[in-house]
A and B are shown apart, each in its own frame.
Chain A
Amino acid sequence: MLGWELPPHHSGGLGVACYEMCKEISATGVDIEFVLPYTADFNIDFMDVLPAHPQSPEEVRMAGGVYDPKYFMKPNVTILDEKLDLRFQHNLFASNVARLVESREFDIIHAHDWLTFRAGLMAKRVTGKPLIAHVHATQYDQSGGGYGNPEAREIEHSALAEADEVFAVSQYTKDILIREYSIPADKIRIVHNSMKVPDTAADDHNVHRYLEIMKSQGYKVVVNIGRQTLQKGLTHLLEAAKKVVEKDPKVLFLIAGGGDQKDELIGLAAEYGISKNVIIEGWVSGKKWRDSFKIGDVFIMPSVSEPFGLAPLEAIGFGSPAIISKQSGVAEVLRNCLKVDFWDTDKIADMILQVTQHDSLRNELWKNSYAEYMDMSWKGSAELMNGHYHSLKERACA
C-alpha cells in the first residue's frame, strides 16, 4: 500500500480514510505494508508502516502536501531547501519506493491518489505486480471542476490508464473518471468510504467557551470543517451566510481548517458585513477538532466537487445533522440529510434557517442520520477490496 499520510500526521481526509480502510482490510486476513514518505510513531498494530526514506512529517507537510497541487511546479529558484519542493518530494518517494519493492515480498500494489501513482507505476514495472490506483480526489475536483495542475493531471492519466484496476470512492467519482479521464467503466470499482469517530463521552467541557456562552444566549452555530480552498465551495457558504444573518443575526458560522482561501474568506465576510457572525480558523486537530464538530447545531459541506466527503459523517458521529452538496460522493450513501446544489445559496440559506429555527427538524434529521451512520462500516468495502485483491492475484499468476 502506497500512501502519502496517516493520522495523526495528516492534513485531511485521505490519511483518515487510509487508516480506517487498512484496519478493516487487515481484519479480512490481508497483510499490509504501508509505505509513507516520512518516519513517525503511529502506534498501529494491524499493519507495518514503513518510511520510503527517513525524514520528518513536517518536511513533507511544508512541501505542500497531497492537497496542494499548486505547489507542484517546475523547480523554483526561490526554494532554498529542495526538500520543501513538492516535486522533489514526489520524485524522491517514487525512486525510493522502486528501490524498496525489490527487497519486499507482496502480491498487489495499492496506491492512493496522484502523489503516490508514479511510485506505484515504477513498483509495477520493477516487480511486474498488479497495480490498483485508488482515487480519493482528482485534479478535476481539486480545481473545483477545472483542469487542475497539468502535470498532476498527466500523472493521473498515465497511472489510471496503466493500472490493472481503479478504485473510486463513489459513483460520482467513477462518472468523473469516465467523463474527464476516458477510463473504461469496467475497469473502475466503487469502494465507498466510511467513518467512525472516536468515543468522546468522557470528554470534559468544550474548548469553544465563546460559542458555548453565545449558545446559552440563544445563538445557533453552523459548522464547516475542512480545507479552505476553491473545491470546498466556501464562498457560496458565505453568500448564504449573509442571507441567513439578514433574517436571523443570532446564527454564528464556525469555518475551520485553514487553506489557500482563508484570507479571501476573511475579506469576503467583511465585505458582506458579517464578520461578527463568521469565525474563520486555521487547521484544527485533536480535541479542538472534535469540539468544533460538537459545538455545531448543524454541519454544512457546500463542496463544488467532493469525491466522497467524510466530514458530514464525522459531524453526524459527533451529534450534528448535515447539509451537504449534491456534488459529492457521500450524497450517494446518506439519505437523512439535506442535499443542495452548491451554487444555490438561497436554498442553502433557507435550509440553515430551517434547521436552526426548528429543533424538531434538527433532532429528527440527526437521529435518523445517526442510525444510518451506525449501520455504515468499512467492513463491506474491505471485503469488496479483498475479493478484488484475490482475483487480481489469480489473474497475475495465470
Chain B
Amino acid sequence: MGKQIVLYLHTHQPYRIKPYSIFEAGSDHQYFNYEAPDNDMNNRFIIDKVSEKSYLPTNRVLIDLLNRHPEFCLSLSITGTLIDQLEQWRPDVLDSFKELVRSGRVEIVAETYHHSLAFFYSRAEFVRQVAMHADKIREIFNVETTAFRNTELSYNNDLAYWADEAGFKAIITEGWDPVLGWRSPNYVYQPAYSTDIKLLMKNYKLSDDVAFRFSDKNWSEWPLTTEKYCHWLNEGDPDGEIINLFMDYETFGEHQWADTGIFDFLAAFPDEWLKKPGNGFQTITEAAVEHDAKDKIDVSHTITWADTERDLTAWLGNPMQVDAITALYELESKVMASENADIIADWRKLQTSDHFYYMCTKWFNDGDVHAYFSPYDSPYSAFMYFMNAYRDLQFRLAESNNN
C-alpha cells in the first residue's frame, strides 16, 4: 500500500526596522527604508540575496518537477509582506511563483497577511489580515485558499474552531508528541470541538532531517541520499497514510546552501519516491478531503513548530517582547479610527512576528548568537528601534487628531 507525501513549504520576509532613534520619532516616518549596502537591515538587499540563493533556483527545480511528474504537487504559503516586497523589487521572482501556481498543482495556504500574532491579541485584526491575504492571493495568483496555517504553525482549539467556522477545509500544526501521545502524525485528524475541518500535523522528525540536519556532517546519517530518505519514508510507519513534510521554503538554498547538494536532493527525491507503486503526493486540502479523520485532537494550550519547547517563548518569552507587542495592540482603536491608510499600513508592518523574535534573549544570554538570525547587534537594539517606531506612530496619531 502506498502513501501520500504532503509537502508544504512556507516562505516569508518581514519589513525590518532600520536603526531608528527617539530623535527620528516625530520627524522621519519611514521605519523600513534602510539603504546601507550589504546590510541585513536593508530589506531590498535581503530580498535580492534570498531571491538569487533560494527563490529562483528552488522554483526552477519545482517547475521542472511539476513538468516531469504529473503526480507531483505541493502546498505553499507566501506572506503578504513578501509578495509586496517582490512586487516592488523582484517582479521576476513573483512571476516564477505565479508559474508554479499556474500548473494547478501548487496550493496556496491561507494565513495572516503580515505573518503576525494578531490571533492572540486582536481577533478583529486577525480576521482582517486573513481576509487581506486571501484578497492578495486572489489578485496575484487567481486562486482561492482552502487550508489555513497560523504564524509559526501556532495552534490551539480556539484557532481550529475559528478556521472551521470560517469555512476552511484544513488546518495544520506541529505533530508534537505531548499532543499526539500514542498517535502517529501520519494520518489526518479532526480538531476537538470542530465539525468539518481536518487537521494535519507535521512529521517533524522526517521534515527536520531535510530542513535542519541535511548538511550536518556530525549527524550519523550524513550524507542523506534520496534512497535512504525514501526508505525511511516507506518503512518508518508502514500503515501510515500520509507523511507531512512541512518546512521553510528557504531550506532550499538559504538554510541549506546550494553546495550542500540540497537542490540535487530536491530534484531527485520525487523520482525515488514514485518508484514504489501507490506512492504519490497530495496538497494539504487534497489530503484533508480524501482521508478520513482517525481521531480528535485536543490542544488547549498553544503549540508552535518552533524550538525544542514548541511554544511562543521565542516571540513572547521576555518582558520586552510582551511590553512591545502589548503597546502596539493598544493602539488598535486609535489606528483604525484614524482612517489613515499610511498609519494603518505601518502599524500592520510592525505586527510582523519577526520584530518580536529579534528581541528574544534566550539565546543571546548563552552567547550563542548564531542560534538565531537577527539583523541587529542585540535584542536590546531591536527593542529600542521598535519602541521608537511605535512612538512615531503615537506621534502621527496625535498629530492626525490635532488636525
Contact = CB atoms under 8 A, between A and B. Distances in A.
Contact of B398 (A213, A267, A281, A282): A213
A275 B320 contact: yes
B319 A270 contact: yes
Contacts of A267: 318-320, 361, 380
Interface in A247-278: 254, 262-263, 266-267, 269-276
Interface in B305-334: 318-320, 322-324, 327
Interface in B346-399: 361, 378, 380, 383-384, 387-388, 390-392, 394-395, 398-399
A208 to B, nearest CB: 7
Given A210-B25, A267-B380, A275 B324 contact: yes
Contacts of A280: 384
Contacts of B361: 267
A197 interface: no
A282 to B, nearest CB: 8
Interface size class of A (residues with CB under 8 A): 20 to 34
Contact of B323 (A211, A273, A288): A273
B24 to A, nearest CB: 9
A210 B392 CA distance: 7
A276 B323 CA distance: 8
Contacts of B22: 208, 210-211, 254, 279, 281
A270 B318 contact: yes
A270 B320 contact: yes
Contacts of B26: 208-210, 212-213
A27 interface: no
Which of A209, A263, A281 has the largest count of B CB atoms less than 10 A from its CB? A209
B379 to A, nearest CB: 8
Nearest to A262: B380
B21 A281 contact: yes
Which of B26, B361, B378 has the largest count of A CB atoms less than 10 A from its CB? B26
A396 interface: no
B27 interface: yes
Interface in B14-52: 21-23, 25-27
Contact of A266 (B27, B320, B390): B320
A266 B395 CA distance: 21
Contacts of A216: 398, 402
Interface of B: 21-23, 25-27, 318-320, 322-324, 327, 361, 378, 380, 383-384, 387-388, 390-392, 394-395, 398-399, 402
Interface of A: 207-214, 216-217, 254, 262-263, 266-267, 269-276, 279-282, 288
Which 3 pairs from chain A and chain B are nearest by CB? A209-B26, A270-B320, A270-B319
